[in-house]
Structure 1
Amino acid sequence: MTEANSTPSVSLKLLVLVAILVVFAVVIVLLIFFLCLRGSRSWKRRKLAVKHSSGSIPLVSKEIMVVKTSDLTPATTSEIGDVEGDPKKEADVKVDIGAVTAGKSEVSGGGAHRSEVSVEDPNIGWGRWYSMSEVELATRGFAEGNVIGEGGYGVVYRGILQDGSVVAVKNLLNNKGQAEKEFKVEVEAIGKVRHKNLVRLVGYCAEGARRMLVYEYVDNGNLEQWLHGDVGPVSPLTWDIRMRIATGTAKGLAYLHEGLEPKVVHRDIKSSNILLDKNWNAKVSDFGLAKLLGSEKTHVTTRVMGTFGYVAPEYASSGMLNERSDVYSFGVLLMEIITGRSPIDYSRPPGEMNLVDWFKAMVASRRSEELVDPLIEIPPSPRSLKRVLLICLRCIDLDVVKRPKMGQIVHMLETDDFPFRSELRTVREKDPVSSHADVSIKVPYPPPKHAETVEKSRWR
């Protein structure tokens, strides 16, 4: 009887144990399956991130190797590094394109066996890479007839790509590595920037020691040609067109200073770097001297470079650079637009060689109307002229803090009812000897006390 009762009890216990083991096994299998699935998804995400990086710098391809022309693939090459490597602690620029090399390039006979590469996504966002053969084909072998500009930076050629689009190809001169520096800086400064008043960088070419930048083509030359070239007895640049050019330039600079992080200080604002399209819209170009300035920095100390006559006095004397240095250069450019005179002109009488000094003296002596370019057929209204003269004087204020920001300058240029009275009343209350001119331009502007220390500036 006891044995009969114990047998069902043992069987029940065995069934319970088996059920527990089965449930446990099922849980283990499900857990393993879940971990495997999660690991697989994580691995796929990492792989996808490598293939389609959305960061602020493109993927790195350190070497350009040789392939056939028919198999050309644009390369996207850059790496983090210090652009100028200057022991004097120049501003940090983060993208280094210097790793792009073509060690296997060979030139033989009448043609070149050039480099090309296997690269990843050519549309990474920094423009595309062009091979030397593509650039040579576009510019007809860098034909002299295709030259549209040249200077200390190199030569600019007009080119037509295989898809029919017209471009400007800047062939940088490699003077003591300067081409490499300008190449890196321009790529970092405007490689991904898109603004209607900034020249767009379409792509690049880097083979061996040669560095080239491919820009959108702007078909109406530069401002310097229209201000100082032979345009006849009447300038096609009317007052309204000149103000449109000034406003467009100000908007481009305001975007560089206030719309980007880190902000970009152009460092070489001048009339030859303001390109014009067929509708006289301005496009700021040539970022080879640009500096990046993080939000935590008020200025950066760097080697003085720029163009004689446009360089801010405090930058020329101390090397301390910030966006207000560009504001000063813009003020000189605005004077140039108003007067049609070059910032430095040794062909003029001694008192008129320096545009800034002559401009201040004319304003102080209440001869403002005589400042207007005589080639302008219809002169501006007195109110319009006085408003722009006031902007000029503010931009070149020797007190850096008193210079307006570029965004404020845009507002002043665009606003017809510029608040002369209230603002100037406040200025006079605070500072009886104000450095700003009033609506009658009665406040004299003393000539600058600083010497022409801009000899350190770069002539371009």
Structure 2
Amino acid sequence: GSSYRKTSQISCVCDYTSHFSNYASCRCNRGYTGNPYIPGGCKDINECEQGIDNYGNPYDCGGGGVISGATCINLQGDYNCVYKNHRPLVKGLGSSFGSLIFIGAIYGLYKFIRRQRRLIQKKKFFKRNGGLLLQQQLTSTQGNVESTRVFTSRELAKATENFSITRILGQGGQGTVYKGMLVDGRIVAVKKSKVVDEDKLEEFINEVVILSKINHRNIVKLLGCCLETEVPVLVYEYISNGNLFQHLYDEFDDYTITTWEVRLRIAIDIAGALSYLHSAASSPIYHRDVKSTNIMLDEKYRAKVSDFGTSRTVTVDHTHLTTVVSGTVGYMDPEYFQSSQFTDKSDVYSFGVVLVELITGEKPVSFLRSQEHRTLATYFTHVMKENKLFDIIDARIRDGCKLHQVTAAAKIARKCLNMKGRKRPSMREVSMELEKIRASSSVDMQPHDDEYVSENEEDNEQRVMDVNIGVESWNNVAVTAPASQYNVASSSLSSSDIEPLFPLQTR
């Protein structure tokens, strides 16, 4: 112990006995080895290297001089195990670990609060965007709930690369349409509405509910919607080939639509879709905005009717009285404009304009025509009265068309454009007549005497209505290009061929 430590510097120890005064018994002290009977004969043992002392006792710090962080240091006649002081390190590690736990806890709390805020915000948006009303409406539509999916905002953000500008298909008055790809690989059109007020929310919910009821090959299918975002979002099937307006007016460099057969088939597709909406659907549906920009074309040039934002489901009286007249100049039923009463025959009138577009290739409104014939409906009616149809047939189809079919289709168009709604055929009748035309030969196409009833009276009414709608009312309407579901921005119109949009407040 301590007494040994005090004598550890002495290498040799001798004991003298009382019996032999001149004789001494000597030995090397602990920690030394050698001959104790000669001067300097006891040498220090390097315990750190040998591992045992001269008595054979193990004494190293362990493990070749290092154990548990201890280091063996040789002393004169002794050795020492020096242990490193780990307390600062342990304290530092403990402090760092505690700090990390604290920071992690703070970050976790931040993420939790942020997630909760997002959930609260999504619920707020869902409620504000009419989610509860939509659920109630969809629940009341028997057998259609499962066909309409509610997407999460995260799904649609991923599908559209966070609504990247490179994914924009078109922009219009109601919002922006993006091209997206769902997780299952389906290509979709994502319609993101502009910031809407409560008055517009009913319109949005109306579109979702109406489309959820519809299953027709010539009507754009609604895949679902998202109500968790600040503005409502609709997800449609993607129609790859643009709209009819673009193809008719040379915005695509293709010649498929330059044949009468394709145009007649497109007319039949549109008529069939509107007939389904008016009569075959569970409840009659009026589209209210039939026009060439709302007729999409797929890769096989089959027509699909789109954009049901202003549609209405009709229940009892089969009419819809509104205080605000909405529609597009050139396509709007004059009778609806005057009375604010929309009927199925109002859609028939709009379809008649589209049919005339297919026949003539003329735009629904053009300042290139004279003032009294500025709208295509009045121009076409005048030409038909003058029996000069051949002169206005689109030059791209004139030579290769079956003239008897074009003539028969033109007569149907004129019936659709009758100033009095009750004299117009129903869309079902129009669809059936167009089918007959496609299957007909020239001998089957014979004119009927009732096609030109009260021509002079109708012509006078037409002129009056044209003045009211096509000229005077334009002074009070902001002039904009026609809207479409996709590619609205790409519809290039000259200043002489633009169309103002309604609504107008009726008096």
TM-score (norm 2): 0.62
- Work out whether residues 220 and 306 of structure 2, in 8 Å CA contact, stay in contact via their aligned partners in 1: yes
Partner SS state of residue 158, structure 2: helix
**1:293 maps to which of 311, 314, 321:** 314
Does the alignment pair 1:184 with 2:205? yes
Match of 1:321 in 2: 342
Instruction: For residue 374 of structure 1, report the CA deviation from its aligned partner.
Output: 1.7
CA shift at 1:145, angstroms? 1.7
User: Match for 1:452: what amino acid?
Assistant: N
Whether the aligned pair in 1 keeps the contact of 2:260 and 2:401 (CA below 8 Å) is yes
What residue is the counterpart of 1:452 in the other structure? 468
Cα deviation 1:25-78 (Å, max 9, x = unaligned): xxxxxxxxxxxxxxxxxxxxxxxxxxxxxxxxxxxxxxx9739x9xxxxxxx85
Does the Cα contact within 8 Å between 2:220 and 2:305 map onto a contact in 1? yes
Q: Is the 8 A contact 2:218 2:305 kept in 1?
A: yes
Q: Give per-residue Cα distances to partners, 1:96-151, cap 9 Å, x unaligned.
A: 99xxxxxxxxxxxxxxxxxxxxxxxxx93241111111111111111112111221
RMSD over aligned CA atoms reads 3.2
**Matched residues in 2 for 1:317 and 1:351: separation?**
19
Describe the shift of the 1:306–1:354 C-alpha distance in structure 2 as closer, same or farther (beyond 3 A): same
The corresponding residue for 2:332 is 311
In 2: Cα distance, 1:185 partner to 1:145 partner: 30
Cα offset, 1:308, TM superposition: 1.2
Taking structure 1 as the reference length, the TM-score comes to 0.68
Pair 1:321–1:459, CA change in 2 (3 A): closer
Matches of 2:502 and 2:255 in 1, distance apart? 30
Aligned residue runs from structure 1 range 276-425, under 5 A? 276-294=297-315, 296-302=316-322, 303-376=324-397, 378-416=399-437, 417=440, 421=446, 424-425=448-449
Distance 1:153 1:335 in 2: 27
Q: Which whole-Å CA distance do the structure 1 matches of 2:255 and 2:308 have between them? A: 32
Shift of 1:235: 6.4
2:160 equivalent in structure 1 = 139
List per-residue Cα deviations over 1:260-316 (Å, max 9, x = no partner).
23211000000111001111111000000001111x213121121111110100111
2:282 maps to: 261
Secondary structure of the equivalent of 2:448? helix
1:452/1:198 Cα in 2 relative to 1: closer, same or farther (>3 Å)?
A: same
3-state SS in 2 of match to 1:133: helix
- Kept in 2, the 8 Å contact 1:249–1:282? The answer is yes
- After the TM superposition, which residues 198-277 of structure 1 pair with which residues of structure 2 at under 5 Å, given as runs? 198-231=219-252, 236-277=257-298
Structure 1 counterpart SS, 2:327: coil
* 78 and 207 in structure 1: CA distance in 2 versus 1, 3 angstrom threshold: closer
When residues 390 and 300 of structure 1 are mapped into structure 2, their CA distance, relative to the original with a 3 A threshold, is same
**CA shift at 1:385, angstroms?**
1.4
Tell me if the contact between 2:150 and 2:226 (Cα under 8 Å) persists in the aligned partners. Answer: yes
Match of 1:43 in 2: none
Q: Which letter does structure 1 place at the counterpart of 2:312?
A: K
1:355-393 CA-to-partner distances (Å, cap 9, x unmatched) read 111111111222111221123364422211110111101
Is the alpha carbon distance of 1:234 and 1:252 closer, same or farther for their aligned partners in structure 2, counting shifts above 3 Å?
closer
* Shift in Å, 1:452: 3.1
Counterpart of 2:150 in structure 1: which amino acid?
W
d(CA) in 2 for partners of 1:301, 1:293:
11
Q: 1:178 offset after TM fit, Å?
A: 5.7
- Find the residue that maps to 1:341 and give its secondary structure: coil
Correspondence for 1:39: none
* Aligned counterpart, 1:95: 137
**Shift of residue 185, structure 1, vs aligned partner:** 1.2
CA positional deviation for 1:181: 2.9
Are residues 128 and 137 of structure 1, via their aligned partners in 2, closer, same or farther at CA, if it must alter by over 3 Å? same
Range moving further from structure 2, 327-336 or 373-382: 373-382
Q: Among 90, 112, 119, which residue is 1:66 paired with?
A: 119
What is the identity, as a one-letter code, of the residue corresponding to 2:157?
A: E
Equivalent AA in structure 1 for residue 318 of structure 2: T
SS at match of 1:224: helix
* Pairing 1:157–2:178 present: yes
* Contact residue 271 and residue 430 of structure 2 kept, 8 A: yes
CA distance in 1, matches of 2:386, 2:145: 57
- Tell me how far 1:435 sits from its aligned partner: 4.7
Contact residue 216 and residue 273 of structure 2 kept, 8 A: yes
- Give the structure with higher Rg (CA): 2
- For residue 411 of structure 2, give the secondary structure of its aligned residue in structure 1: helix
Aligned-partner residue type, residue 453 of structure 2: S
Kindly indicate whether the alpha-carbon contact (under 8 Å) linking 1:363 and 1:444 is maintained by their aligned counterparts in 2.
no
1:194 aligns with 2:215: yes
Query: In structure 1, what is the Cα distance between the partners aligned to 2:373 and 2:343?
Result: 29
In structure 2, how many angstroms separate the alpha carbons of the residues matched to 1:330 and 1:154? 25
Query: Structure 2: how far apart are the matches of 1:365 and 1:156?
Result: 44
Q: Mean alpha-carbon deviation: is it higher for 411-420 or for 238-247?
A: 411-420
Output aligned runs, 1:79-90, within 5 Å.
Answer: 79=132
CA distance in 2, matches of 1:413, 1:236: 18
- Report Cα offsets for 1:155-208 as digits up to 9, x if no partner: 111100111100000011124346523321111211131100110000101125
Amino acid at match of 2:317: K
How far did residue 229 of structure 1 move?
A: 3.2
Secondary structure of 2:188's aligned partner: strand
1:203 and 1:215 in contact (8 A); partners too: yes
Distance (Å, rounded) in 2 between the aligned partners of 1:444 and 1:235: 36
Identity of aligned residues (%): 32
Range moving further from structure 2, 188-197 or 284-293: 188-197
SS of residue matched to 1:275:
strand
Post-superposition offset of 1:321: 0.7
Show CA shifts across 1:248-267 (max 9, x none).
01111001000123211000
**1:171 paired to 2:187:** no
Amino acid at match of 1:299: T
Q: Is the 8 A contact 1:197 1:284 kept in 2?
A: yes
Task: Report if aligned partners of 2:259, 2:401 keep a CA contact under 8 Å in 1.
Answer: no
Give the gaps of 5 or more residues in structure 1.
1-63, 70-76, 82-93, 98-122, 438-442
Gaps of 5+ in 2: 1-116, 123-129, 478-499
Matched with 1:87 is: none
Residue 434 in 1 paired to residue 424 in 2?
Answer: no
Q: Secondary structure at the match of 1:125?
A: helix
CA distance in 1, matches of 2:210, 2:393: 35
Asked whether the 8 Å contact 1:179–1:211 carries over to 2, the reply is no
CA distance in 2, matches of 1:388, 1:346: 26
* Distance (Å, rounded) in 2 between the aligned partners of 1:170 and 1:452: 35
